[in-house]
Amino acid sequence: MACIPCPECGHSVCRFAASCPGCGMPMASSYDVILLGVAEEKELAFIRYQNWAGVSADTARDDLLFRLPLLIAQKCSYEDVKGIQEALGGFVLKLVPAGTGEDAVKKEGFSRKKLFLPCFLACLTALLVWSIVMAFLS
């Protein structure tokens, strides 16, 4: 039986398997690549992403600061995925079966947006408590 390496963990997987037995990554003939975050120094990341994506410096900065998660490649073969992983080594990438990237980005984005309100309220509460303490001490 023909085996292929898992694009996520490198484990050898039967071509007809539904998912990798090593990491659970769904196996597909092609993948969509989603950029979730940056795991390296920001200025280097902006330059690396700008060169890879062929976008302006402002667009690269906006993408990495304000538009994550971001669908950066669709219908990539295993070799394409490996090339992207090498080119964007300091980035947090997620692979999903081709054709599901748009939905996965919406799902990832939704979970991030759900965290905004609790964090905002916690900061607001801390500021209010600090103001009360400072008013009491003065």
Q: Please write the tens of the pLDDT for every residue from 27-60.
A: 888 899 999 988 888 888 899 999 999 999 999 9
Positive or negative, the CA dihedral 18, 110, 108, 87 is positive
Q: Which two tokens stand for residue 125?
A: 């509460």
On the question of pLDDT at 20 being above 80, the answer is yes
Q: Is the pLDDT of residue 1 over 60?
A: no
Structural domain spans, the chain: 29-137
- pLDDT of 51: 93
- For tokens 């209010």, name the residue: 128
97: how many CB neighbours lie within 10 A of its CB?
15
- Torsion angles phi and psi, residue 20, rounded to 5: -75, 130
Residues in the chain: 138
pLDDT band at 138, cuts 50/70/90?
A: confident
**Average pLDDT score, the chain:** 86
pLDDT given for residue 116 in this prediction = 66
What percent of the chain clears pLDDT 90, i.e. is strictly above it? 22
More confident residue, 91 or 15: 91
Query: In degrees, to the nearest 5, what angle opens at C-alpha 10 toward C-alphas 76 and 7?
Result: 15
Distance CA 47, CA 53 (A): 10
Does 3.30.1390.10 match the CATH number of domain 29-137? yes
> What value does the mean pLDDT take over residues 72-88?
90
pLDDT at 97 over 60: yes
Mean per-residue pLDDT, 114-137: 82
Distance (Å) of CA 39 to CA 33, 49, 130: 16, 13, 33
